[in-house]
Amino acid sequence: MEKERFTMLLLDPGEIFFEDYSVQMRVVDNSTSEEQKWKDGRLKLCSKSLVFVNKDITQSLIKIQLKETIAIDQCQSNNDIAKCGNILLVKCKQYVKMLEKNILAPYKFIHQNATFHFYFYYAKIDDCLPQILQLFRAATLPTAEQNAMIMAIVHSRQSRVSFDTSWLEDLYEQVVLETQANKVLPLVINPGRILLTTSRIYFQPYNNLDQHPVLKIQLKDIVNINKRRFLLSQIGLEIKWLRQPENKLEHLFISLKSQNDRDELYTNLLNQPTVSLERVPQDQMTMRWQNGSLSNYDYLLYINSLADRTFHDLTQYPVMPWILQDYTSSAIDLNDLSIYRDLSKPIGALELNRLERLKERYLEMSEPKFLYGSHYSAPGFVLFYLVRKYPQYMLCLQNGRFDHPDRMFNSVADVWKNVLVNMSDFKELIPEFYDISNGGDFLVNSYGIDFGYRHDGTKIGDVQLPLWANGPAHFVQVLRNALESDYVSQNLHHWIDLIFGYKQRGIEAEKANNVFFHLCYEGAVDLDTIRDINDRHGLEIQIMEFGQIPKQIFTLPHPKRSVFMLNKLHTKTISVSIENEIEDKENPIEKTFELHELIMFQSHKESVSSIIITSKEEINEVISVGQDGMLKLYSIKNKKLTRNVSLSSLPLSSCVSYYTSSHRNILVAGSWDNTLIFYDIEFGRVIDVLQGHEDAVSCLALSVTRRIIISGSWDCTAKVWQSYTSGTKIKPAECLIAQLDHDAKVTCINISGDETLLVSGTEDGEIFLWNMDTYNLQFTVKAHNCKINAMVFDQEGKSIISCAEDKVLNIIDVYTSTQIYRTTIEYEPLTLTWFKSFLLIGDNNGNINVWNRQGAVFITQIRCHDGPINTLSVSIENNIVLTGGRDRKIIVWDCKNV
């Protein structure tokens, strides 16, 4: 029972528990005879204290801090002959009583000299005393030197102990690596040894505090391994695994002696064949969030994890934004935009009067300057919010005391008001404010802790919630709904830029009024170069108590969320949790996409270049052009070739069709002889040939609403033409609207769905984005280092998807020109087209690769042709996909997808 009462949270933060002894204890030279009686219990030997745990659970635990100790020695005289010679004598200036009547409450500090006797039942005092005296000597040193000496003692003990291989589960598993490591929990460090074998990883603590003498994790159950920063150094490793048979997610956070030791363990873990991590790339997770497959809450947790924020380290606890700014009204409407906080500004810049005062102070400072003298996330702030749920953490952090009642988290409205106007309060929120799974339990004083009374005599109990909240669970649910709202979804990228992105530091941080004390930025000081341990210790304490800026994840503007997917998000959200990064089994990403061949035509003598499908009076026709210079028309209904026309003696590269004002269907074909050929499908004749370029026409695009045709050419231009009007002879000088110059051959072009943007790609891998109202160049970006084969816009026109000879699929944000997704495909991708939320990618091996936009994941690969697929076309209304290949085949497919 006493093991359950004693936890390392009763010690100083980071203090180490070595071992315990079965003892009897009494207090001598005390006024009460009751205290002079021998009491059974256990003595805990810790790095900075001795703790006696009484066997009687109603009695207090006694902690004697070594720094408050006057003398430690072997007791030489004792009236009890049976105990003589095996008694430890401890004299101290003060001691601490904890958990009196087994109630969690502030510690009682007894400020008087006292002498304790500890009789050891089994251990020999001669064996124990040298180590106790060594720790006692360390306690006389300054804190930094004391810590250094303690760590030297720890490492000395670790080096003398090896992992007990009798704990191995399997006689045949081979040892890969053994090393020293500390198990890390909030405010707690427990030294031990890590043993990695070919089938398991083991952690064996040096003490007997843990429930299990050895923690055993099967490698096949590991779902995630992350490198972490710990105590400002890259020495942490977080392992997540599913405990069987419960299938419960568990965590092991360890710190190692050095970064090299950490990296060696990490590499060896990943090299084990039984470790199979289905990691989702960062850009793919961003795409999932953009496309509505990942909630705002889960995406923020994911980014926090990337930035070394973890629930196991209070100095780097996950940070979440304040979303709402109305905590006083009796009702709240999440559709009212006025209730939301401006996410484009840091907390300190929300209230203009305070910001102006901060700026005035900033201008008067010497370098390095800062706007904000405190941080938005620090251990004290985390426990400020969580003191009711984890009171033992606060007692540990604040030396056995709770905060002053008036400074505690008493009212949500008061905290919000304070972070708006207080000159030293800029704290954001923590994930618990949006975690609906726990029903807001951190807001309730469920343990009945006596936190005291406020200045007005009010006894502190539960947190006072806004009038619009019906209780803690409802309050958290409203905050979560607000976090997932359309307004937040459209603006959350601004806050990400401030906390994790390009506005986190440098000139952009200055512009955004987002400058904090210089020591809180990662890499601001290299602690390893500071030789004086006292100076180093001072910096460590300052940095950890002040708070740490997360690791910078994005150096370019973060993309916006897709409005196209927001309505879908309200009804069905795929939750890819940061805790396990495993897809929600109740709402799986759709992975069903099938093609069934309906008709196959083979009439071209050479490779098929381009295909389109037309619908006239419910009779579907397929039109194709090819490298043989031929135009072909096919009837889907009659399943046969209906027309065969020679348009050019050179290859035809592309084709588009449109209807004139007199309802004539005109086909335009681009030819390698530099021309655009206009063919009247109804009358079966060429009506004009436009000498449009000085080299081959490589691609065509059509804007129906603007009645224009865009042609791309190997002459390094794209030209915009007024489409053909019946009865009017085409003359280049009259119908040319604009010429768009490039630096290399134009290989592909595409128009956004709303026909406001035009994108063109070149042979040297450059993308050009043009405004179709003015034909001004919006930006150029080097997306590939080789020829771009195809490009499409997403359904909203917010991003450009490109593929090239380098086998890379790139997604570029049209607002910032930044790359937001990149993946490599097995075979060279040649052509792209959308079918609903699926991107179909034809490759040079004859496959259609199906990429699910919702999950940003490839779901299947379908073999269609014997050789490259040059062209794809779809009819979503009829669930038809057309493919044309170098094998001269045109295939009509019936598409089945959910």
The string of pLDDT tens digits covering residues 265-296 is 999 999 999 998 877 788 888 888 988 888 99
CA distance 282 to 37: 64
Over residues 606-659, the pLDDT tens digits come to 999 999 987 655 557 899 999 999 999 998 888 999 999 999 999 999 999 988
Q: What mean pLDDT comes out for the span 810-833?
A: 92
User: How many angstroms separate the CA atoms of 129 and 73, rounded?
Assistant: 7
Compute how many other C-beta atoms are within 10 angstroms of the C-beta atom of residue 661.
Answer: 9
Domain boundaries, given as residue ranges, for the chain:
2-139, 161-279, 296-571, 609-834
pLDDT above 50 (res 574): no
pTM as predicted: 0.84
Output the CA angle 350-353-356, nearest 5 degrees: 95
Contact 107, 5 (CB under 8 A): no
Q: How confident is the model at residue 514 (pLDDT cuts 50, 70, 90)?
A: very high
Whether residue 496 contacts residue 480, with contact meaning beta carbons closer than 8 Å, is answered with no
Comparing CA positions, the residue from 664, 668, 691 lying closest to residue 679 is: 668
Q: What token pair was written down for 328?
A: 């006083």
* Local confidence band at 56 (pLDDT 50, 70, 90 cut-offs): very high
Question: What distance lies between CA 812 and its chain's CA centroid?
Answer: 20
At CB < 8 A and 24+ separation, what contacts does 124-131 make? 124/86, 125/74, 125/85, 125/86, 125/87, 125/88, 126/74, 128/21, 128/45, 128/88, 129/72, 129/73, 129/74, 129/88, 131/18, 131/45
Classify residue 455 by burial, with Cβ atoms within 10 Å: 0-12, 13-18, 19+: exposed
**801 Cα distance to chain centroid:** 23
**2-139: CATH, from 2.30.29.30, 3.30.420.40, 1.20.58.1030, 2.60.120.560:** 2.30.29.30
Helical H runs in 839-883? none
* Fold that domain 161-279 belongs to in CATH: PH-domain like (2.30.29)
pLDDT of residue 584: 42
Q: Convert the pLDDT of each residue in 120-148 to its tens digit.
A: 998 999 899 999 999 999 999 998 899 98
CA 281 to chain centroid:
10
Q: Which amino acid is at 366?
A: S
What separation in angstroms does the CA of 857 have from each of 137, 283, 583, 792?
Answer: 60, 11, 12, 17
SS (H, E, C) 485-532: CHHHHHHHHHHHHHHCCCCCCHHHHHHCCCCECHHHCCCCCCHHHCCC
By CB neighbour count within 10 A (0-12 exposed, 13-18 middle, 19+ buried), where does 523 fall? Answer: exposed
- CATH 2.130.10.10 fits domain 609-834: yes
- pLDDT tens digits for range 696-741: 999 999 999 999 999 999 999 999 998 855 445 555 556 899 999 9
Sheet of strand 880-885, all strands in order from the earlier edge strand to the far edge: 593-602, 889-897, 880-885, 869-875
Instruction: Please spell the DSSP secondary structure of 156-196, one letter per residue.
Output: HHHHH----GGG-S-TTPPEEEEEEEEEEETTEEEEEEEEE
Grouping H, G, I as helix, E, B as strand and the rest as coil, residue 347 is helix
Give yes or no on whether 2-139 and 296-571 have one common fold: no
Three state DSSP letters for 195-225: EEECCEEEEEECCCCCCCCCEEEEHHHEEEE
pLDDT tens track for 177-219: 999 999 999 999 999 999 999 999 999 998 877 767 899 999 9
Whole-angstrom distance, CA of residue 788 vs CA of residue 810: 10
Q: What token pair was written down for 8?
A: 């390392």
Query: Confidence band (pLDDT; 50, 70, 90) for 3?
Result: very low
For residue 753, give the nearest of 778, 772, 738 by alpha carbon: 772
Write the CATH number of the domain with boundaries 296-571.
Answer: 1.10.1540.10
Select, from the ranges 403-412, 555-564, 850-859, the one with the highest average predicted confidence (pLDDT): 403-412
In Å, what is the CA distance from 602 to each residue of 170, 304, 674, 862? 62, 55, 27, 20
CA distances from 420 to 97, 351, 370, 417, 429 (A): 40, 6, 18, 5, 13
| pLDDT for residue 780 | 96
Pairing of strands 799-804, 788-793: antiparallel
For residue 593, give both structure tokens: 């996409």
Mean pLDDT across the stretch 325-351?
96
Residue 567 has pLDDT above 90, yes or no: no
Tokens of 874: 């779809």
Q: What percent of the chain has pLDDT over 90?
A: 69
Confidence of residue 816 (pLDDT cuts 50, 70, 90): confident
Q: Judge whether 870 and 890 are in contact, CB under 8 Å.
A: no
Q: How many CB atoms lie within 10 A of CB 887?
A: 19
Measured at the CA of 521, the angle between CA 517 and CA 522, to 5 degrees, comes to: 160
H or E stretch at 643: strand 640-646
